[in-house]
Chain A
């Protein structure tokens, strides 16, 4: 006798503990994070891109990455996708007769593939050892191979398929664009933007880049407009540079001085969509295109980041370990009653 009563007690105690734990932790949802105010990024404008791949070559050089071959003769660096050794790639969309650029049917278009530097990155949330981090100021998503355990959860988590692993090496690393953060201290910015001849890839503060993107999609197609190249300098920075003391935004930010490289060209036919403005809570790399983004390999993403949902679940269950300890307390209490030291001697008596 007593078994049924104890059974019920056990059920009640563990149930009560679980409920207490659930109540003690406020069911707070972790909101999707937004970009830090000084976030740095890129604006890629597919209508300006000519597919020269200077950015691909510059990226390889800046990151000390080897060439990857996909042709028989092994003459040129010809990666077919980003990889552990290729962090930036221009991909081409082709349809039918390929008559005109930035045209969905019987046309072609270009798209840059590289890290989007999400406001709320899945890879950073996924990484168990903080090898993938987001800089609180610049928002750059950086990688630290000295912490990385090579679990590749970041590879699986990223909706853009960006972090890549070097499977051919016994000491393989994760490879991804870090916005050339290692060159920032010398006043250099992202190599891809530095070398882009048409300004299709532009470097700058994401806030400024977003304003520039909105300026562009409001343009009348074919109308002559001025487009910056290299690094986008906000109006405020130009003003400061013009001041008599010679000290201005340029010096404060530490970017190298370069002449104004802007030029005039007819505006392309833009889709009314700045990719990266809202996707997954926003990204620091923004994209413009004349052809549907999904056709160019950019996924259709909701405004909420998956990392927010994942961390909401994680912290509601384990926040401050309140729930685990509540359940452990209940289990210990019940087990203490049920696990009797003479248990063993009764075993001996048996048989």
Chain B
């Protein structure tokens, strides 16, 4: 690591009141109002949930997709600390921060969706837990991971408030926290896929497979890198900073490598199980499958060549496509390709969409406040 000299992280500074933060505030206020109705009158009062679709976008989008979007911290930490690629070090803090918010809010989002939330302690109570349950594994791992990430991020807060001794103590144990921070996401990101297995034939054959844990894990890793591409480009533009292509270009290559493995597993699994003909039946499911595949294959063409990987616009687009592809695979498995029989329909209500929007707004607002006030992004002379 000593080989790499990076600009130390520093607060970006600047005003916290602008059009973006104000819009986020409005969305968060709307969410709070809707949640009040939900907790007073039940899930049916604000959602379109029903017994054919007991899980809506609060689970499929906020938790399943949201936590995969929050894999940047995990993916970059793997690169820097496990594969010792110190040159990516400046990406660690911003990625970790985004993950921290993504996961913390996914955890909070689960609480909004739980019909009997006051019993949630049973999830950790030895007399109640069910180790056979995939959801038990997911819940425990995610909860632990949120704590681990806050510890990983704590030096940033300590730096800001000048608690040097405290920071020293924490940094001594940091290697173990970082190791935990790579194992826990591997466990629950794969298990988020395994959640579908017990639903059996109710999940369309294009998305129901014993390979689900591997597919969800691999896609979470490349989605992590995709999110870093997305965030880096966006932050650079918003804060008018130099785009870190010297880091993003080689990272994109690693991302494409994992993506290639994923595509082989994804297609191989569909073919081996004999589910491929289902992709040629005219149906919404087949359309969703090809949309998803297009999002996975397009980045290979778009930034397959080294020269194209130096182009920030193409990197950004590839990142967005991969985030979308991974999101589509999850949305199809949990909602579009889920069919329980009977005349059930589900389309999210405006209130559900607003709560999801409020969650993402809370993430953006938190990211802005922390990067402006805490040492997260590398120091740079602002071009204001």
Q: Find B133's partner among A14, A127, A145, A313 (CB 8 Å cutoff).
A: A127
Within 8 A of A (CB), among B95-151: 113-117, 119-120, 122-123, 125, 128-137, 139
Residue in B83, B130, B172, B175 whose beta carbon sits within 8 Å of that of A127 in the complex: B130
A310 to B130, CA, bound (A): 13
B40 within 8 A of A: yes
Answer whether A128 and B139 are a contact pair too, CB < 8 Å, given A156-B199, A161-B342, A167-B44: yes
Interface size classification for chain B: 35 or more
Interface size class of A (residues with CB under 8 A): 35 or more
CB pair B115 A151 closer than 8 Å: yes
Contact B135 A153 (CB under 8 A): yes
Q: How many A-B residue pairs lie within 8 Å, measured between CB atoms?
A: 241
Return the CB mask of B68-88 against A: 1 if under 8 Å, else 0: 000000000000111111100
Q: Is the CB of A155 within 8 A of B54?
A: yes
Interface check A349, CB cutoff 8 A: yes
B139 cross-chain contacts in A, Cβ below 8 A:
128
Which residues on the B side are within 8 Å of A151 (C-beta)?
A: 113-115, 135
Question: CB-CB < 8 A to A126: which residues of B?
Answer: 133-135, 198
- Name the contact of A331 in the complex, choosing from B42, B182, B341 (C-beta under 8 A): B182
Q: Which residues of chain B have C-beta atoms less than 8 A from A159's C-beta?
A: 200-202
Per-residue 0/1 for A315-351: is the Cβ within 8 Å of any B Cβ (1 yes, 0 no)?
1011000001001100110111111111110111111
* B172 CB to nearest A CB, Å: 7
Instruction: Please tell me if B320 contacts chain A, counting CB pairs below 8 Å.
Output: no
User: In the assembled complex, which residues on chain A have CB atoms less than 8 Å from the CB atom of B178?
Assistant: 331, 335, 339
Determine if A173 and B85 form an interchain contact, defined as CB atoms under 8 angstroms apart: no
State A349–B8 Cα separation when bound (angstroms): 8
Across the interface, B55 reaches (CB within 8 A) one of A122, A152, A342, namely A152
Flag if B3 contacts A317 (CB, 8 Å).
Answer: no
Asked whether B340 is an interface residue with its Cβ less than 8 Å from the other chain, the reply is yes
Determine which of B39, B114, B125, B134 lies in contact with A314 in the assembled complex, contact meaning CB atoms within 8 Å. B134
Task: Assess whether A170 is in contact with B39, with CB atoms less than 8 Å apart.
Answer: yes
Name B's interface SS.
Answer: helix
Q: For residue B116, which residues in chain A have a CB less than 8 angstroms away from its CB? A: 145, 148-150, 171-173
A40 at the interface (CB under 8 A from B): no
Q: Which residues of A141-183 are within 8 A (CB) of B?
A: 145-153, 155-157, 159, 161, 164-173
Which A residues touch B52, using CB under 8 A?
161
Q: Contact mask B206-224 → A, CB, 8 Å, 1/0?
A: 0000100100000000000
Q: A145-B116, A343-B1 are in contact. Are A310 and B6 (CB under 8 A)?
A: no
Lowest 10 A-B CB distances belong to which pairs?
A150-B115, A306-B200, A167-B44, A150-B116, A331-B179, A152-B54, A128-B136, A155-B54, A129-B122, A310-B198
Residues of B near any A CB (own CB < 8 A): 1-3, 5-9, 39-45, 47, 49-52, 54-55, 80-86, 113-117, 119-120, 122-123, 125, 128-137, 139, 155, 167-168, 171-172, 174-176, 178-180, 182-183, 186-187, 190-191, 194-195, 197-202, 210, 213, 338, 340-342, 378-379
Give 23 A-B contacts (CB < 8 Å), ordered by A residue.
A84-B51, A122-B199, A125-B133, A126-B135, A129-B125, A149-B120, A156-B202, A157-B199, A159-B201, A161-B51, A161-B342, A165-B115, A170-B39, A309-B197, A317-B187, A318-B131, A318-B137, A328-B180, A332-B175, A335-B178, A335-B179, A338-B175, A344-B155
Given contacts A313-B194, A343-B1, 7 further A-B contacts (CB under 8 A): A128-B139, A130-B122, A152-B54, A317-B191, A332-B175, A337-B84, A348-B8
